[in-house]
Each structure stands twice: as structure tokens, then as C-alpha cells.
Structure 1
Amino acid sequence: MKPSPIVSVVIPTRGRPETVCVAVRSALAQSFESLEVLVVIDGEDGETEAALARIDDARLKVLSLPEPMGAAAARNGGVRAARGPWIAFLDDDDEWLPEKLALQLDAARGSDAALPVVCGSYWARQDGRDALWGRRRPGPDEPISEYMFCRRSLTYGENALATSVLLVPRELMERVPFDAALRRHQDWDWALRALALPEAGLVYLELPTSIYNMAEGTGRISAAPDWQASLAWVEQRRPLLTRRAFAGFLATECVTRAVQAKAGRKVVSGLLRRMFSEGEPDLRAIAMVASVLLLPPGLRSKLRDAVRFMRS
């Protein structure tokens, strides 16, 4: 009888046979070999099944849901099927560097937390260029909601809680599963709820371990300017956010996206009022809103890209 793996890798997928095979191979190529890779196909997808069948590795297991239920439900299904005491998530269009699991397991085992949540920096890849994201370590007494939503710069990529970077105990995933009703902010939602437990603790690893692919056409839901869904989510999780974090989220995820969606002056004004009446915006949140309202979109995009790649 084969020994149980130490790490179970969970990869949800649908309609991406080429990219999911790249993701799977990056997991199977880890220097840490005591693992299983569970690919959960979200509904009927013969092309993806055929592509995965060509990967010859006994550690790969393919599960298929009877009908599409979304990435969160697929991840939860993978956790239920997992045999390892540790769970690592990988999106089907991302990749891991070879030392990812070995480095994160060492960090987890050195943590004082009973249920350590390991995150860290990663490479955001677009147009053949890499920028370092997840570049900020949380402060020792910093509320997790402020680490996630109170930026210290005007560019994306500060916090290190992307799904493809996480390594967590299976016990924690069983106690706090992903919310299968959500289509947006699934990783943030899970992190807020999981790290609210007193036994859980965030462990940050500075060395980049993953590649987050940002190429156009990947279909990432997080890229769509759906400010209404973001507002509905933050209202649902409002008790888990400080006032500063609430204002920061409205600035970056609601006001910015409402302007992108051309939602109109009334909508934007209403969001701004809530920033100040229900939250405590800091100078960076105010500067973020000002840049969105005052700078032309083309200039703002060029400035953001310039700063982003200066950091890489």
C-alpha cells in the first residue's frame, strides 16, 4: 500500500486543456515529491480530460463534477478527495517554480501558529515581462483586512494572498471551505474568514514561488469591472473589515471599477460618500480615487505599468 502524500495539490479547471497541463506539469516537477495532484474538472469537458490523460504520472488524479458549479465548489471537491495533511491550490492558468512546496513547508513547520496559512511573493507575468507581486509582508499587529485592502502604493500587487500561492492545513480547509456561492473575491473571502480563527496565523515567504499569468484571453473574473458584485461582497463581509480597510476596498475595487464601467456620476458620488461616512480613508486611498477621477485612462494605465515594471 502506497503511503499517503504529504501535500495534496488542488487545481480546478474548465475549458483550458493547454494551460491546465502546464499547471499540472509545474506541480509534478516540484523538488518535494510526496504529493498528489487533484485536477477537478468543473462539468463535462472531454477535451480537457483527453489532454490530462496524456500526462503519465501516477500522482495525477482527475475528478469531474457532473455539472459546472464554479471554481470554489471545484476546490472544495478537491479538498474532500485529498489525502494529504496539507493543501496547496493552483489555478489552471498559473504555474509553480520548482522549490515552491519545499520552501513553503519549511516555513509552515517553523511557524508558531497551530493552523499556519503560508503565502508569499510571486511573479505576475504579462507580455513576456515579470513583475514582483505579493511584495509586502504584513505588519506584526496589522489587521488582515488592512493588509489586504489598505495599499501603501498606487499599484496592484501588494498583498500575497493569491490562491495559487497558498499552502494551508487540510484541517483548516475542512473547517473553513470556500464559499461556493461567490464568483468574485473567492480567495480574499476565504482568507478573511480563515484568518479570523484564533488558531490560524499568516506566514509570509519572501522568495517568489509562483507565476501568475495575466495574458489577455485568460478569462479571469477578477479582471472584469463588476463593481456591483464587489460592493455586495464587501457589504456581506463588513464585520470582518476595519473602517480603514472598508474605505480602501471601496476606493480600489468599487470606485475604480465603477469609473471603468462608466457607471455615472451618481453612482461614483454615492460610493465616495460611503468611503467617508462608513470608513476612514487614508491618504493613499484618497490619492487612488483622485487619480482615477482626474487622470485620463490612457495616461493612468501608462503610469501604472511604468511603476509596476520598475519594481520587477
Structure 2
Amino acid sequence: MTEQTARSAHRPDGSDHPDVVVSLGTDHHAFDRLVRWADDYARRRPDLRVLVQHGHSSAPERASGTPFLPGEELSGAMRGATVVVTHGGPGTITQARAAGHLPVVVARDPELEEHVDDHQLLFVRRVEEAGRVHACSTAQQLHAFLDRALASPEDFRVDPGSDDGPDRAALRAGELIDLLTDGGQDGAAPATVAPDPADTWPAVTVVVPTRDRPELLRRTLRAIVEQDYPGRITTIVVFDNDQPDPSLAHAEGDRPVRVVTNTLTPGLAGARNTGVLGADTDLVAFCDDDDTWMPEKLRAQVEVMRAEPGTDMVCCGIQVVYDKVESERVLDRTSVTFGDLLRSRLTELHPSTFLIRRGAMIGGCGTVSEEIPGSYAEDYELLLRLARRGPIRNIPEPGVRVLWHRKSFFSERWQTISTALRWLLERYPEFALVPSGYARVAGQIAFAEAAAGRRGRALGWIGRTLRRRPVEGRAYLALLVVCGFPAGWVLRLLHLRGRGL
């Protein structure tokens, strides 16, 4: 412990709690301005302990500093403090109020490159008008608030259970906007920890739904058995609306295969859930019966899970095969947020790449939705729910060969596609906050309606799409189909380039 930290390690009352907690969250933009203001106050009041959770900003010189704290530790420090100062992150503000504080808040300013946009400025103004925070914008204001709080702490305390009704709705809206722009977890420490020193590899269950594709299924199972993975892999083949093939089952070695029948809602969602509920391992992977894993796919993903116990889901890139043409689809990022997924489906995050902690679904965000009409886009909807819990990790390398072909289950099922996508827009009103994301889904609906021959409905959805995003290409593709261009030709041209609608 340094001399300056030692001087500020104990409060005048003898406790180890800081007098002032300043939390800057985990936003990757530096907020050095607030760190300097806190440092200046610590110099002026050497009798106090000022703790700054500074995230990616510069560490304080006078005050105690730590980049991140586990969520409960940060909440505990807040509960023991006399006053709490936060940046304008809704999650941090909510955490401070839950700890019983009326926080002093300094919003990040995009003109000073402290944030990507001005949503913190707008949000802080809104909650200040509602009396939920004390907002300030200068060092002098901050120091005056701190002096007042230390002299009259009861004026800066709130009932932790008071945030309900319209107040909670405002805070929740702010949290949502924060997710859309950053996906940050505010003051909580990132989940990454050192790998487990024990040279053990967890067992994994692979769920393979199938229907009417025996040759492709055997190829898929062979690729799973041939994985370069040191641990046990149990495959559960779930036959959906099809007679099971018991000859596929075996229990020998560390690559057993079980054969079951879908006992839940008929369709892909029910089949996946039958496998998930039948699994007895912490890690569960999905693989469609017409796709094949590359040999090192599972090992690479489990290595991430072992290193990051707080990560719920890991995906990877794909290699698309269509009519003997191959194309690689790989995301050049290692983390995907809820906001990213609202903006784009990110086709690279294919269900055959999913590796998920079973507990994140069962007892967490829930299993695959069986309410989606026809199970269309069930994988995307599950991604959205898991991303709400925390960022999804991605390995920017191909790990799965994905076969696109005319026998794909949803090929030309236009009415099901349109109905399911409309369900998605209704279930996730957050799309209204992301014009590009709403236009993407609306454009897909327009194309499906046009392909189904419902010209009037197609034109209506084309209009909605273009009002949200005039350059959305799917609207113009739908218009081509309305004018008589065959939908199948459009999809073929897209698929030959490794693209989907």
C-alpha cells in the first residue's frame, strides 16, 4: 500500500469504508475530467478516504483507485460510504440508489470525447428533473455537493425500494439506451479471470435436432465425434416429426450418442429444448443436422469458457457452402452486445456455433422460445435474451461449415417467416429505438409478403421500411419481387455471395 493510500485508508470513525465513492463504470472512453475533480477534493480533504472506481480512465494520484470491482464489492462500498458520485450511466445510478444514496452525477460529454453520443447528458437532465439525482457539471459544483453531503448525509439518502412506477420506468429506459450504445456493465468488474489451473475439460452436450435428412445427419454426427477435444462429448439427436433411428445410438467411449423424440412443441424450438432439458452437463452446444463442425471448433470455445466463468455464451465464424460455392463469414470482433444484435442479425452467429452455459437458460433467461410462430428466428431471439444478460463472446475464426440448400426447413415458407418476424417486432419494442434494426426486420417482412404474392401487404411494409431507413436494400429487393422478379432468383444471387436476406 502506498503512503498516500495509507493516509486515506481509514475513516475518522475507524471503519474501513470509504467516505466518498466515485464510480465511472466500464465505458471504454476515458473520463479523466471526473478523476481529476475527485483527486482535487481528496487533496483538499486529506482526512477523508475517497475511492475512485476509474474503469478505463487514468488512475487518481491522491485518492484511492481501482479500475474495476466485482458488482457486490462495489455495492458494498457504496452502502458504507457517506456520499456516492457516478458518471451518467443508468446502471451505476440505479446501483447507487439501490445502496441507499441520492447520487451526485456528472454526465459524460461527447464533445470532450468522453462518450459516443449525448444520451448521458439527456438522461441525467431527465432524472434530475424527477429528483432522482443531483447533477453537476463543474468541479466547484461537485465539491460543494460533497461538502453538503458530508455535513448533512441524510439529505443525500433514499429508500432503496423507492424506485418503482414511472421512476423505475425512466431508469429502465436509460439502462436500455446504455445497452444499445455500449453494452457495458457499469461498475462491475469484467468477468475474465485466470484459467482454471486444473487440467480438466468439462463435459459438453451437443443437441442435434433432425428431420428427414439421414445422410446429412450422419455426416454431422461424424464431425462431432472427430472433434479435437480432450473432454467428453455427449450428443443428443432429437427427432422432430420423424421416426427416430435407434441405430445411431451408442454408449461407448467418451463420445456417446443418445436418440430421443421431441416431447415438446413440434418444431425446431421444441426439439432444441428437449435436448437441453435432457442434458446433464453445464455446457450445451447446438448443431443443425446439415452442418459440420471443424475439428478444433469446440476446444477453442471451451477454452474461452474456462478462462471466463462469467461468460454465458461463445460463438464463432462460419464457412457458408451454397451450390458448390464457399464463402467465409467471420465477425472481426470478440464481443457482441444486445445493441449490436438489434442493429443487425449478425448471420455469422449461426446456431450451429452456439456454446451456452445451461444454467444461463434454465434458471436464467429461459430456454428457446416455443412461442415464435413456426420456430422461425428462434436462434436470433435466444441471442437477444442472452445478450441482455451480458456480452456474447465470439471467436473471429470459422469453426462450422454451414450448408445452405433448397432442402433448408424454412426455404420459401413465406407466411411463417412474415408472421414470426412480426411477432419479434411486437415482443421487442426496443427495435423502435434503432431505426436501422427495425428497417432490417421490416424489410424482411416486406420481402416475405411479396414472395407470398400479398402485394398490398408488401407495399405497406416497404413503406414502413423506407420511412425508418431510406437506404435499406431489403425494401428495394421486395419491390423487385412485387414487380414480378422471382423471389427465388433474388435469394440465389444472395446465397452465391454468401449472404442471406
Normalising by structure 1, we get a TM-score of 0.79
Structure 2 matches for 1:157-176, cutoff 5 A? 158-174=346-362, 175=364, 176=366
The answer (yes or no) to whether the contact 2:447–2:477 under 8 Å persists in 1 is no
- Per the alignment, do residues 97 and 120 of structure 1 end up closer, same or farther by CA in structure 2, a change over 3 Å counting? same
Higher RCO (CA-CA < 8 Å; seq separation 6+): 1
Q: Distance in 1 between matches of 2:343 and 2:334?
A: 6
Shift of 1:62: 1.6
What CA distance in whole angstroms lies between the structure 2 residues aligned with 1:96 and 1:223? 26
In structure 2, the CA distance between the partners of 1:147 and 1:33, relative to structure 1 (3 Å rule), is: farther
Alignment of 1:91 onto 2:280: no
2:476 aligned partner: 290
| Residue aligning to 1:37 | 235
Q: Which has the larger radius of gyration?
A: 2
The match for 1:228 is: 418
Which contiguous aligned blocks of 4+ residues in structure 1 show a shift greater than 4 angstroms? 53-58, 138-142, 294-303
Alignment pair present for 1:23 and 2:209: no
Query: What is the deviation of 1:159?
Result: 3.1
Tell me, in whole angstroms, the C-alpha distance in 1 between the residues paired with 2:239 and 2:208. 8
Considering only aligned residues, what root-mean-square deviation do their CA atoms show, in Å?
3.1
8 Å Cα contact 2:211-2:241 kept in structure 1: yes
C-alpha deviations, 1:96-135, integer Å up to 9, x for none?
1111101111233344x72332112101111222111254
Match of 1:188 in 2: 380
Distance 1:291 1:70, change over 3 A: closer
- Counterpart of 1:178 in structure 2 is 368
Query: Any gaps of 5 or more consecutive residues in structure 1?
Result: 150-157
Q: Secondary structure at the match of 1:80?
A: helix
Residue identity matched to 1:193 = R
Match of 1:155 in 2: none
Structure 2 spans left out of the alignment, 5+ residues:
1-199
- Quick check: 1:143 aligned with 2:346? no
Count of residue pairs the alignment pairs up: 287
TM-score (norm 2): 0.51
Determine which of 449, 454, 474 is the counterpart of 1:258. 449
- 183, 204, 207: which one aligns with 2:397: 207
- 1:145/1:240 contact within 8 Å kept: no
AA in 1 matched with 2:452: A
Deviation at 1:271, TM superposition (A): 1.0
In the aligned structure 1, how far is the partner of 2:282 from the partner of 2:458?
A: 46
CA spacing shift, 1:162–1:250, aligned 2, 3 Å = same
Tell me which of 441, 446, 449 is aligned to 1:249: 441
The residue type paired with residue 216 of structure 1 is R
- Residue identity matched to 1:246: Y
Distance 1:71 1:59 in 2: 23
Which amino acid in structure 2 is aligned with residue 272 of structure 1? I
Taking only the aligned residue pairs, the percentage that are identical comes to 23
Structure 2 distance, partners of 1:214, 1:305, is: 8
Q: How has the CA–CA distance of structure 1 residues 26 and 191 changed in structure 2, closer, same or farther, with 3 Å as cutoff?
A: same
Deviation at 1:169, TM superposition (A): 0.7
Aligned to 1:152: none
* Matching of residues 37-186 of structure 1 within 5 Å: 37-43=235-241, 45-46=243-244, 48-50=245-247, 52-53=248-249, 59-65=256-262, 69-111=266-308, 114-135=310-331, 137=333, 143-149=339-345, 158-174=346-362, 175=364, 176-182=366-372, 183=374, 184-186=376-378
